[in-house]
Amino acid sequence: KAGVTQTPRYLIKTRGQQVTLSCSPISGHRSVSWYQQTPGQGLQFLFEYFSETQRNKGNFPGRFSGRQFSNSRSEMNVSTLELGDSALYLCASSLGHFQETQYFGPGTRLLVL
Amino acid sequence: EDKVVQSPLSLVVHEGDTVTLNCSYEVTNFRSLLWYKQEKKAPTFLFMLTSSGIEKKSGRLSSILDKKELFSILNITATQTGDSAVYLCAAPGFGNEKLTFGTGTRLTIIP
């Protein structure tokens, strides 16, 4: 079974631009969660989607948004990029709501200049 | 707010040594605690612990949970250079919508 895939793997953007990241969960998994990882803050939860609905959101500004499609694939969008948005963005999938074991993708490394 | 704290922050040992990594937590409606290993990119799942006092084992790695004292330990025996990584523990929050992660323990194994 293929694992979680994320595209692109690397991105360089400039301040003020926007970016869209994509995540394809493990086949059969319906829940997708997004995390931001930085050296200073560690892994922080962004949001979780289940059946195309956002179930929970972390403490991030409204510039961070996401969505999930009917095939469980998910996208994350960051608008008006700031230097501090440079990070590794990880998505994780699990079977469904209340399934705690999350499997992570390789991440997208975003650098904002 | 849910909190997960790991110690030590970093650890350097020689190959063959045994190490113990610690994770304490304060989580509303606790259900489980998870351990992950992160080498370069994606954290890979190691263990999920739900019951106190029951050791989970996978090769040289083992982990146990103490729900009374609110902590877990991860043991690695006969360490190898391939064990060098950041070890993360995490707990699902209320409703299990999100994982709260500790800052991780960076383990370095010297040959």
Mutation target vs A (from B30, B41, B48; most A CBs, 10 A cutoff): B41
Query: SS3 for A62?
Result: coil
Contacts of B45 in chain A (CB under 8 A): 101-103
Instruction: Tell me how far apart the alpha carbons of residues A28 and A71 are, in angstroms, rounded to a whole number.
Output: 9
Closest CA to A22 of A85, A86, A110: A110
Q: Which of B32, B34, B101 has the CB atom closest to A42's CB atom?
A: B101
pLDDT tens for B8-44 read 999 999 999 999 999 999 988 888 899 999 997 789 9
Count Cα atoms within 13 angstroms, Cβ side, for B30. Answer: 25
Residue with tokens 């469904």: A96
Tell me the C-alpha distance between A83 and B15, whole Å.
40
pLDDT at site A86: 96
Q: What is the pLDDT of residue A42?
A: 84
What pLDDT is recorded for position A102? 85
CA distance A78 to A85: 9
A27-48 tens-digit pLDDT: 999 999 999 999 888 889 898 8
Name the DSSP class of A24: E
